[in-house]
Amino acid sequence: MFKQAFRRRYKDIHTDQYHFTKLLAARQARTESPQQFADRCKSLAQNVKLKSDDPQIQRIHRENADRMFLASFVSGLIGVPGRQVRFSHPRSLEEALKTALLSGGREIGTL
């Protein structure tokens, strides 16, 4: 009973739509490096929860979450690194980060 009361007390009260909106609206801050922005997007994507025990459904949900994470990261990057990443149409986060870093995203606040 204590565990259940504890979980209810500290359960995230935000709706799924709130978490989706936060992820989709994520934008890189001027003082944030591409790596820091990717980490922030990843934590936002982890808040999008799945409510199923079926392994197939879980796999599909993870794949969709990964695509949403990549799309949010790419669309939220700013400046020259953001343009270069969008032009390159990356297939993975690693590819997107590599492009962002090679196009001048190493410097914090690059525009």
Give me the pLDDT at residue 65, please. Answer: 84
In this prediction, residue 109 has a pLDDT band, given cuts at 50, 70 and 90, of: very low
| pLDDT 10s digits, 38-95 | 999 998 888 876 777 888 988 888 888 888 899 999 999 999 999 999 999 999 999 9
| pLDDT 10s digits, 2-21 | 888 877 767 666 777 888 89
Domain-wise residue ranges, the chain:
2-105
Contact 83, 64 (CB under 8 A): no
Nearest-angstrom CA–CA distance, 75 and 52: 29
DSSP conformation letters of 18-34: HHHHHHHT----TT--H
| pLDDT 10s digits, 23-36 | 989 999 999 999 99
DSSP 54: -
In this prediction, residue 106 has a pLDDT band, given cuts at 50, 70 and 90, of: low
